[in-house]
Amino acid sequence: MKKHLTLWLGTILGLFLLTGCGLNTAASLPPLPTAAPTGLATAVPTLPPPTVNDGTAVANATPVVQLPTATEEPTVTPTITPSPSPTPTATPIGPCDARMPQDDLFTIVTQTYGLSRDYAPQDLVLLTDYLPVDVTLGYPTELRQVALAPLIQMIADMQNAGLQPWILSGYRSYSAQAISWEKWNREEPERAAILSARPGHSEHQLGTTLDFGSPELAGIVGIEDIEFHTYFYQTSEGIWLAENAHRYGFTLSYPRSAQELTGFFYEPWHYRYVGEEMATFLHESGTYLTEYQLINQPEPCIP
Ligand SMILES: [Zn+2]
């Protein structure tokens, strides 16, 4: 993990976008509380040193010029010293996919930062080969190999605690996301942008992201067969994940307080694997991944 983190910090990455799960999401999302997003400044990471672009601040204070009164001879012509213009960082802007190592776990994916349409992870495995059908529900869900062992351990620990976690969705290709986006855009054009993600802007394309479900959800929501709903956070599985997923390297991508920054609704079922070190750091510092990524903002790139 340390190696990944170090590698990442040494390499400025440039991709990302949010995920909106929105495959079968019930449209009946309750209104969000107007919780103020935690300010970036309140959650400056202390573990991995943020990359700071020093020397780019523009000194733009306007000099105050006192006009002479009619009876006074102007004796001094105020001179306005132009603010020193910052040296433009002549960083060449390259294609996003050229800056995305296949094994990177922290690539940013939001409504603003997208993934190349050509990006597909190379180490996907089929979860039905590793987990029982009462977890996968028989869905052909794929996940990157790097997150497999931690996931299996987490599921086992959940079951040992008497829980019944479901895995509803995992890797989604660019084209699969395009189909999902089209559906949302057709059915709920006003809300598609926050309920789903445009192709290239879903964390599911990374192959490290999973949507979890709970058999308790339908009873809580009162809708039979419902798979996704904000009330997942009230289920035993949702509660357990919120408290423990970081110990296995998973982090909640879109917490309630993050909507303004991520552009996505609260998705208590959507977890992304970032490794135990990063996930624990985020959990303990009260930071969420997008927030961390934006503090350590990579240079722009051409999608
Ligand atoms: Zn999701």
How close is the Cα of 55 to the center of ligand 1, in Å? 38
**Given this model, what pLDDT does residue 88 score?**
37
Q: Is residue 13 assigned to a domain?
A: yes
In the chain, the number of structural domains is 1
- For 249-266, the pLDDT digits (tens) are 999 999 988 888 888 889
Q: Which residue has the higher pLDDT, 79 or 247?
A: 247
Q: Is residue 202 assigned to a domain?
A: yes
Q: Is residue 35 assigned to a domain?
A: no
293 pLDDT exceeds 70? yes
If one counts every other C-beta atom within 10 angstroms of the C-beta of residue 236, the result is 16
169: left (phi over 0), alpha (psi -120 to 50) or beta: beta
How close is the Cα of 67 to the center of ligand 1, in Å? 61
Q: Is residue 83 assigned to a domain?
A: no
Distances (CA, A) of 277 to 94, 250, 282: 30, 10, 9
How close is the Cα of 209 to the center of ligand 1, in Å? 7
Q: Is residue 58 assigned to a domain?
A: no
49 pLDDT exceeds 70? no
How close is the Cα of 43 to the center of ligand 1, in Å? 24
Q: Give the contacts of 219 (CB within 8 A, at least 6 positions apart).
A: none
pTM of the model as a whole: 0.69
CATH number of the domain that residue 248 is part of: 3.30.1380.10
Q: Is residue 21 assigned to a domain?
A: yes
Side-chain-side CA neighbours of 91 within 13 Å: the count stands at 11
How close is the Cα of 204 to the center of ligand 1, in Å? 6
- Of 122, 87, 119, 86, the residue nearest 13 (C-alpha): 119
pLDDT band at 245; cut points 50, 70, 90: very high
Full domain range(s) for residue 257: 2-25+93-295
Q: Is residue 46 assigned to a domain?
A: no
Q: Is residue 38 assigned to a domain?
A: no
180 pLDDT exceeds 90? no
Question: For residues 207 and 240, is the Cβ–Cβ distance under 8 A?
Answer: no
How close is the Cα of 15 to the center of ligand 1, in Å? 18
